[in-house]
Structure 1
Amino acid sequence: MLVAVTLVGSMLAACGSADSSQPAGGVSPAASTSAATSRPVDDPPAKFATTGAQMPDGLLADILDLENRLVGPPAVTLYGGTAYVGAFDHVQAIDTTNGHVKATIEPAGKALVDGDGTKHKAGAPAIVAISDKPALLTPFPVDQSGTGTQASHKAVEITVSDPDTAKVQWQVTLRLPEWADEPNVELTATAVGANGSTGVVTVSNDNSHAVTYGIDLTAHRQTWVQDGFAATGIAEGMAVGWSTEHYEVHAAGHDAASGAPRWQGQSMVSQTVSALGPHFVLLKGRAWGSEKPYLQLLDPTTGKTKQQPPSQLSKGTCVYDEKSAIVCGGTGAGTDTATTFGLDATTGKTLWQLPDKQADRIAPEITTAWHGMAYGKTAKGPLALDARTGQDLPTSPQIAPVLVNGSAGLALAKVDGVNTTLLVYPAIR
């Protein structure tokens, strides 16, 4: 069974000092190397630099399809002028102006190592609020060495760091279930987010096993654990994701404060389950037997279908602009015609759609949306739309970002015309 899960997407640790001469995985030939004296912060940015700095190698492993399109989110979180890049054994704080590594966060315990064909992965670190202050939440899978007759085990170290300085504030270590100790297990640790004072982290093994923990972010201790459940997002007080039962995989929702199970959906093939803003869960998959693709917006509290997107989007996907709109794009079953929709993030009702033959407008490929703006591209190049109206912005953003904040955008590009990589582009005016 293949289950594709979207992970929407930070232990006493050694924290390196900023080094303005150290590039992250190399810098593209045209990348800027000088720090901006007055860094623009736009909400949302309408334009980006045309030259960018290369992000660390390996970020695109297993998340690019044969057409070099993203099928999953990169393990990156943008915070101010910093890109926090996750790996299973460290997190790099990268200056989005020039791509330089400013600091590195590492686990205090013994980090796992790749070997014998085993490759561990990581989701993006999460920015959460603790006592109204921002914090960086990151889980690291580690080895816990036994002493005497005590056996060794794998564990997860959960780190909370200051996102402004990348300095670790505290950490807690939790034992993983027995399945994590099996030989050649490949682990993925992901910071899901927080619901009030409860942080949520998930550790999974190639989608066949998963465990999710609830962490009291003020008391620095575990409050609940659910083996067999992988949280991928939080909406309306629910940790939503997938659960395994008798070798079947189901969409599921658990109370984020207590971990108690609240609902479980039908068994699916090749599913994607993710929070889509505060009011919806995106469910994407294929039906058993018919293999027919479908896309649904679920109620996070009940798991029931809350809104059925237009049939033209059965092979599409959606992104929340973190403000008031959901932008969806894709194709329908049995057709290759591109379609783009804007939906209200509260009601799910359609706001606009493309193509529009009467207005002689085609549908773009949407790459992301943020704070009222949708970004994408057509054969003519990058473009930006108003996420609420679908109207074209008067000027091109110059790139088609897949991740964006007020200071920078991350976009796919080819280096030397060969390998597709991820570059960071500063926002400009």
Structure 2
Amino acid sequence: MALACSLLTACGTGDASRATGGAPPTAAHTSAAASRPVHDPPATFATKGARMPDGLLTDVLDLDNRLVGPTSVTLYGKTAYVGAFDHVQAIDTTNGHVTATIEPAAKALAEGNGTKHKAGAPAIVTIGGTPALLTPFPVQVSGTGTQASHQAVEIDASDPATAEVRWRVTLRLPEWADDLGTELTATAVGADGNTGVVAVSQSNDNAVTYGIDLTTHRQIWVQDGFAATGIAGGMAVGWDTEKYEAHAAGHDAATGAPRWQGQYIVNQSVSALGPHFVLLQGGHFGSEHPYVQLLDPATGKTKQQLPVPLSKGTCVYDEKSTVVCHGTGNGTDDDAAFGLDATTGKTLWRLPDKQADRIAPEITTAWHGRVYGKTKNGPVALDARTGQDLPTSPRIAPVLVNGSAGLAPDKVDGWKTELFVYPATD
């Protein structure tokens, strides 16, 4: 079973000393960052980037160095927050320096004997009108008296401007998480209103999702056997796991109550595409014939069938009005790019266009009306609503963008692919 979130995301390193306990950025870093202009969306990026931490692209690049899974990075202002199972690094996107580190108060789970834990990207949520960085850490809680030691998830809420932890809450994980050698992945899914959603999954398909009141810092609901991967239309969407089978599912984000469940499909991935759609990619059981659908997040019913090339492709919501998709055909004429209205699902444009002698770019991400990608001619940018080429090359093909920077993979030592951060210049 694939427990996938939205694709087309990215990641980040630094040589600065590692601060502890959520220390704020240094004054020098804060001053330099404050002077940088914001571009919404960026048209160009610097040609020289700063290397991000090693390993951020592990398991999320295919053989053609295309991003096929989510990375553990979130951009906020001029800072990239890089998640790991036992810490979060705040990285200045101007120079790649680590300015602060957030660590759990409890003891992080140990690794060894082949056991490796993972983390999703931290989530930016709003609590009482104020932004917060939500990060879950799998931790070990020592036994006291007759209470046995057990695994738990510690959820930290931090100030995204300073990386200072505001509050923490620790929740008991199900018994399956206590098994020796269990590999856990903790992900901050996001928030719906005042409810934060956090998921913890196990490599052998066990999963649990929690709903947290972001004001009182208390657990509202828990659903063992459900792995949330996104939030759309008031629903936490993801997977129900039943006897080693996975079914796409939707649970009420405020209460955790089950609302719908799809049929069993193999090699599935599911992601929220803005407030109006859920993307389901998979294959029919038995034949494994691939297909891709846009679902109604409230009911799970199919709103639109998308072309088969997208069954192994990627889609991204530009956080404005458009969903942009790219399907890979291993270099054949099946390569295709699409722009869809994020509210209606209507196709706005499609490439290739043989009549106009236009090919389909490999789309790497889209943000605020601009599509970023590349062709054999180099990096390109398109208008998200029309699909038309924009006159200025972005110079890089970023996989994650905000108004201050873009993150893009590049070769290190001529062979290894790592992530770099490039400041926005225009």
Give the TM interval when normalised to the shorter protein: over 0.9
**Equivalent residue in structure 1 for 2:129, among 132, 139, 164:** 132
d(CA) in 2 for partners of 1:296, 1:37:
43
Normalising by structure 2, what TM-score? 0.94
The structural deviation recorded for 1:58 is 1.8
Query: How many residues matched?
Result: 414
The structural deviation recorded for 1:35 is 4.3
**Equivalent residue in structure 1 for 2:195, among 195, 198, 217:** 198
Question: Letter of the aligned partner of 2:313 in structure 1?
Answer: G
State whether residues 291 and 307 of structure 2, in contact with CA within 8 Å, keep that contact through their aligned partners in structure 1.
no
**Equivalent residue in structure 2 for 1:168, among 165, 170, 174:** 165
d(CA) in 2 for partners of 1:333, 1:380:
18
**What is the identity percentage for the equivalent residue pairs of Structure 1 and Structure 2?**
75
Determine the structure 2 residue equivalent to 1:151.
Answer: 148
Q: Deviations over 1:9-41 (max 9, x none)?
A: 7xxx8123435999xxxxxxxxxxx94674121
**Equivalent residue in structure 2 for 1:15, among 18, 22, 30:** 22
The structure-2 alpha-carbon separation of the partners of 1:183 and 1:37, relative to structure 1 and needing over 3 Å to count, comes to closer
State whether residues 314 and 333 of structure 1, in contact with CA within 8 Å, keep that contact through their aligned partners in structure 2.
no
The structural deviation recorded for 1:148 is 3.1
Question: Letter of the aligned partner of 1:418 in structure 2?
Answer: W
**Equivalent residue in structure 1 for 2:395, among 395, 398, 401:** 398
State whether residues 314 and 332 of structure 1, in contact with CA within 8 Å, keep that contact through their aligned partners in structure 2.
no
Determine the structure 2 residue equivalent to 1:25.
Answer: none
| SS of 1:180 mapped into structure 2 | helix
d(CA) in 1 for partners of 2:25, 2:331:
52
**Equivalent residue in structure 1 for 2:48, among 41, 51, 55:** 51
State whether residues 60 and 74 of structure 1, in contact with CA within 8 Å, keep that contact through their aligned partners in structure 2.
yes
d(CA) in 2 for partners of 1:129, 1:21:
28
Gap regions ≥5 residues in structure 1: 23-33
The 5 Å alignment of 1:1-400 reads 2-6=1-5, 14-18=21-25, 35=32, 38-206=35-203, 208-331=205-328, 337-400=334-397
d(CA) in 1 for partners of 2:148, 2:227:
26
Determine the structure 2 residue equivalent to 1:29.
Answer: none
| SS of 1:268 mapped into structure 2 | strand
d(CA) in 1 for partners of 2:312, 2:147:
51
d(CA) in 2 for partners of 1:19, 1:416:
31
State whether residues 295 and 316 of structure 1, in contact with CA within 8 Å, keep that contact through their aligned partners in structure 2.
no
Identify the structure with bigger relative contact order (alpha carbons < 8 Å, sequence gap 6+): 2
The structural deviation recorded for 1:307 is 1.4
State whether residues 68 and 314 of structure 2, in contact with CA within 8 Å, keep that contact through their aligned partners in structure 1.
no
d(CA) in 2 for partners of 1:36, 1:19:
11
State whether residues 88 and 121 of structure 1, in contact with CA within 8 Å, keep that contact through their aligned partners in structure 2.
yes
| SS of 2:306 mapped into structure 1 | coil
Question: Letter of the aligned partner of 2:416 in structure 1?
Answer: N
Question: Letter of the aligned partner of 1:219 in structure 2?
Answer: T
State whether residues 315 and 333 of structure 1, in contact with CA within 8 Å, keep that contact through their aligned partners in structure 2.
no
d(CA) in 1 for partners of 2:49, 2:273:
29
State whether residues 153 and 171 of structure 2, in contact with CA within 8 Å, keep that contact through their aligned partners in structure 1.
yes
The structure-2 alpha-carbon separation of the partners of 1:21 and 1:293, relative to structure 1 and needing over 3 Å to count, comes to farther
The structure-2 alpha-carbon separation of the partners of 1:140 and 1:324, relative to structure 1 and needing over 3 Å to count, comes to same
d(CA) in 2 for partners of 1:179, 1:37:
46
State whether residues 313 and 332 of structure 1, in contact with CA within 8 Å, keep that contact through their aligned partners in structure 2.
no
Normalising by structure 1, what TM-score? 0.93
The structural deviation recorded for 1:149 is 2.9
The structure-2 alpha-carbon separation of the partners of 1:333 and 1:7, relative to structure 1 and needing over 3 Å to count, comes to closer
State whether residues 33 and 92 of structure 2, in contact with CA within 8 Å, keep that contact through their aligned partners in structure 1.
no
The structural deviation recorded for 1:237 is 0.3
Determine the structure 1 residue equivalent to 2:16.
Answer: none
Gap regions ≥5 residues in structure 2: 10-19
The structural deviation recorded for 1:101 is 0.6
